[in-house]
């Protein structure tokens, strides 16, 4: 296991979706019911990782006292939903099998997910293996001006997906950061210029 020395963070300003998905062992004494669900997730992860156009940037498989779960990083909410509904890929058939089992054995196995469309992101890893958001995107050393989490967050704006009518997110337009939204405001003008972001022109 290779350790990444020093303080590192991530570098990424595209669309970012964080997706949590997991299961709970409600009846641990029924492996015949939970094992098919348990083994379905690694198969999906392999399928996604082998497809460079899947939209999956990276993931972490984790475990707590209730059961396993995955933290996934996606480059597109549309690609996440497309994978979930594709009948020719692994998720849809697995979901159908789970629903059939759940009708026969209610509450024997729990499944859950959470989806976050991220407006901005901040990270810090010190003396760890490559993992998390830096591994999924790009790992960079923490520069002196980014030693504070607030500064990293201020410069961590991402690109939000377009609204259904094709326009930028209204908060992004109001902030002068096309496709970017921030409760704390836009990145500095220097950072926006380095990214090639031009101020929104009012009409």
Average pLDDT over residues 137-161: 95
Q: Could you read off the pLDDT of 111-141 as tens digits, one per residue?
A: 999 999 999 999 999 999 999 999 999 999 9
The pLDDT of residue 197 is: 46
Contact 77, 15 (CB under 8 A): yes
Predicted structure pTM score: 0.81
Nearest one of 154, 170, 78, 162 to 121, comparing CA atoms: 154
Q: What is the DSSP letter of 87?
A: T
pLDDT exceeds 70 at position 201? no
What gap in Å lies between CA 177 and CA 87, rounded to an integer?
Answer: 37
pLDDT exceeds 70 at position 195? no
The pLDDT of residue 165 is: 57
Alpha-helical (H) ranges within the chain are 31-49, 77-85, 91-104, 132-136, 149-154, 170-175, 189-194
What gap in Å lies between CA 91 and CA 84, rounded to an integer?
Answer: 6
Instruction: State the DSSP H helix or E strand holding residue 56, giving kind and residue range, or none if neither.
Output: strand 56-64
What's the order of all strands across the beta sheet hosting 67-74?
A: 56-64, 67-74, 17-25, 109-117
Q: Report residue 106 as tokens.
A: 């209610």
What gap in Å lies between CA 190 and CA 197, rounded to an integer?
Answer: 10
Q: How far is CA 126 from the centre of its chain?
A: 21
CA-based end-to-end distance of the chain: 55
């Amino acid at each position: 296991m290779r350790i990444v020395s020093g303080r590192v963070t991530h570098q990424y300003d595209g669309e970012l979706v964080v997706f949590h998905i997991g299961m709970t062992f409600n009846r641990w004494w029924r492996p015949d019911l939970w094992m098919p669900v348990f083994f379905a997730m690694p198969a999906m992860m392999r399928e996604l990782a082998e497809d460079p156009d899947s939209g999956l940037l990276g993931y972490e498989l984790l475990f707590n006292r209730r059961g396993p779960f995955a933290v996934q990083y996606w480059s597109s909410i549309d690609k996440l939903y497309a994978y979930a509904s594709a009948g020719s890929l692994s998720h849809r058939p697995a979901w159908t099998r789970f629903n059939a089992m759940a009708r026969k054995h209610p509450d024997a196995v729990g499944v859950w997910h959470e989806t976050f469309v991220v407006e901005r992101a901040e990270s810090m890893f010190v003396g760890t293996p490559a993992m998390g958001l830096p591994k999924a995107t790009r790992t960079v050393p923490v520069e002196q001006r980014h030693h504070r989490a607030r500064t990293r967050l201020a410069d961590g704006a991402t690109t939000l997906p377009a609204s259904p009518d094709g326009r930028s997110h209204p908060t992004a337009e109001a902030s002068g950061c096309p496709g970017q939204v921030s409760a704390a405001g836009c990145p500095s003008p220097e950072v926006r210029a380095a990214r090639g972001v031009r101020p929104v022109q009012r009409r």
